[in-house]
Structure 1
Amino acid sequence: MVLNTIPVKTDSAVPRVVICGHLGFAQAECEALFKGVADVEVMHSLSSADLIEGMQPGGKYEGAVGLLRHWNGFDRFGRPLIEALPQSVKFVSSLGAGYDMIDIGACKEKGIVVANTPGVGNDATAVTALYLIISALRRFSVAERQLRAGLFEASRVTQGRCDPTVRTLAILGLGGIGLRLAELVHAFPMRVVYHNRRPFAGAPAWCEYYGPDRLDEMLAMADVLSVHVPLRKETEGLVDEAMLRKLKKGAILINTARGKVVDEAAMIRALEDGHLSGVGLDVFPDEPVVNPRLLELPNATLLPHLGSISSDAQKLMEVRGLTNLRDLLLGLHVVDVVPECR
């Protein structure tokens, strides 16, 4: 499958980089960024085997020193792929803030520096979370499904529908996305409380901090809990049965972070027995597979991991990722190098 081509060719004296995925919006920027800096090759396949084959002597990607991992290309850069890369590869620039799909340990062992694009998708992801909050509170998604099924009057009931105004949003992990969401819901206004290990330096006074010793207190007051923590070993299953049951009865859970941060089985039990009145999910533990039970539950608003997927956000992300790769090649300081590789 031909994805696209970037006509950036200079001469054999410059490095070679490979774009693994499809540049949807930043082809012109790519050409400008790498002119005189590197030859750019675009993969015409999304097969890791094709990438490795192309890296071999005489292959079209031979000698490549840097890779751009687009989220619409390779889903994972796992250990087998990383270990198969030739020693020439020194840099991986990945699009998106999350980088759990890249085996950082394997990269470090091979001396490969990894950069991501934190912050670029903050607004788009926060808007996604806002939609999920409104839809879950007002039960808009179930109403739309009924309308499409020809049941216009079936969902036009007041019971169970709530407005966000005067309700409390609890943010688990206030960072760039969480702060932007807080700004958006403040307009209703919603009360905003948050939990981090320590206060967030950029938080306005109306974002109320609840530290580790007051987490249970925060959960008990939350009408909506929105999850914004990165997926790491210590955060897998963080939102577990115990945490869910500490939420007030009828609360709503929103997750635009990573599916594995939430104990899915515990969440479904809480939905089925009414402890949670609804959920709004953009992420799932086994993407692209979605638990069939969630598809059956009417109080679940579901999206296919659309958080930062907008044309505006994607262009910014592509330009940032390309710029990171170019700057790494030039030996410049790149603030987006992930902490494990600094």
Structure 2
Amino acid sequence: MSDTRPRVLLTQRQTTPVMQRIEQSFNIPAVPDQQMTTRELLDAARAFQPQAIMTATGLPLRGSDVLLLPDSVKVVATVSVGTDHLDIPALHARGIVVTNTPDVLTECNADMAMLLMLAAARRASEYGALMRGGWGRSLAMDELLGTRISGKRLGIVGMGRIGRAVARRARGFDMKVMYSNRRRLPADQEAGATFFSTVTDMLPHCDILSLHLPASPETDGMINADLLSRLPRGAIFINAARGALVDEDALIDALRSGQLAAAGLDVYRNEPNPDPRFLELPNVFLTPHVGSATVETRTDMGMMAVDNVEAVLAGRDALTPVQA
């Protein structure tokens, strides 16, 4: 007896609750443990003729790739907020609905930004290396000293949902919050933060700079040598947003020269193979793009993607459609 359930192609496994729901509701082929490549996705789509594809960041679908998708595909649901890996106009031109998973990962991403902030300021990478080497001696009173973040001046670039969540956490550390955004927030959302109309104007006042805006052609490489030079010497740089926002050559130079005391990075230009020079820098705390990587958040993201797939395949409007 043939399986008449809607056909959905998953480019990688989801959390157990999400997989259980998918396996009950849809006809799916074998799911790889690691994310497919673009070529593997296209080959699987041609063979399986799915009505929906569930994907995620790190798997690009550009214009030429989109043209190779079978006509069966009605919706591409990315299990992410970011959509810079997808060619939205090309997908829309094929009549394919695109959805993402906003809101549900705000709190975890803000937590990750604070983890990066604390780890960079308190030299967590160096402490970890010392412990893994056996420790073996007492540290001098002036040795391996970090910087406290309490009371420091935090500059946030991009005051959307995640930026505001970081600001709330920063206030718990008595930090002075500043932000640069396309437009000034209403007073209730601003919550006492100081607005700067340009990043350039804000930078000289920042002890710590944290990025929270999406990647786009306009923001590509926006954090460059000139902007980094405008920070006070010894500032700390945090990026839990997108690697494409940063000129990594300039960032590495600033870390080597002491213009930046430290950095905490969760995202990189070349994922999952970041610039190996970062690994050589003791003053950088690195994580592998895991801002949303908790059981709760990844499950919520997967469930939202499934909700979107079900809605579109049932002829209803998507819950969280992505516009071009």
TM-score if structure 2 supplies the norm length? 0.90
Q: Residue 47 and residue 217 in structure 1: after superposition, are their counterparts in 2 closer, same or farther (change >3 A)?
A: closer
Q: Please say if 1:19 is aligned against 2:3.
A: no
Give the residue type in structure 2 aligned to 1:329: L
Q: Residue 51 and residue 292 in structure 1: after superposition, are their counterparts in 2 closer, same or farther (change >3 A)?
A: closer
Shift of 1:150: 2.1
What fraction of aligned residue pairs are identical, expressed as a percent?
Answer: 32
SS of the equivalent of 1:203 reads helix
2:55 maps to which residue?
69
Whole-angstrom CA distance in 1 between matches of 2:140 and 2:83: 40
Q: Please say if 1:208 is aligned against 2:167.
A: no
1:139-190 residue CA offsets vs partner (Å, 9 max, x unmatched): 1221111121123545864665211111011100011111111111111111
Pairing of 1:269-288 with structure 2 (within 5 A): 269-288=253-272
- Unaligned residue ranges in structure 2 (runs of 5+): none
1:262-281 residue CA offsets vs partner (Å, 9 max, x unmatched): 11011111111111111110
2:171 maps to which residue?
186
Shift of 1:331: 2.9
- Unaligned residue ranges in structure 1 (runs of 5+): 1-8
1:232 maps to which residue?
216
SS of the equivalent of 1:194 reads strand
Shift of 1:335: 4.3
Pairing of 1:1-342 with structure 2 (within 5 A): 12=4, 15-25=6-16, 26-30=18-22, 34=25, 39-45=26-32, 46=36, 48-49=38-39, 51-56=41-46, 59=47, 61-62=48-49, 64-70=50-56, 75-151=59-135, 152-153=137-138, 157=142, 160-201=145-186, 203-212=189-198, 215-340=199-324
Whole-angstrom CA distance in 1 between matches of 2:109 and 2:193: 19
In the alignment of these two chains, the number of paired residues is: 318
* Structure 1 moving runs of 4+ over 6 Å: none
Shift of 1:229: 1.2
Q: Do the aligned residues in 2 keep the contact of 1:142 with 1:155 (CA within 8 Å)?
A: no
Q: Residue 55 and residue 172 in structure 1: after superposition, are their counterparts in 2 closer, same or farther (change >3 A)?
A: closer
Q: Do the aligned residues in 1 keep the contact of 2:307 with 2:319 (CA within 8 Å)?
A: no
Q: Do the aligned residues in 2 keep the contact of 1:22 with 1:70 (CA within 8 Å)?
A: no
TM-score if structure 1 supplies the norm length? 0.85
Shift of 1:258: 1.0
Whole-angstrom CA distance in 1 between matches of 2:322 and 2:129: 41
Q: Residue 55 and residue 263 in structure 1: after superposition, are their counterparts in 2 closer, same or farther (change >3 A)?
A: closer
Whole-angstrom CA distance in 2 between matches of 1:40 and 1:156: 63
Whole-angstrom CA distance in 2 between matches of 1:120 and 1:21: 20
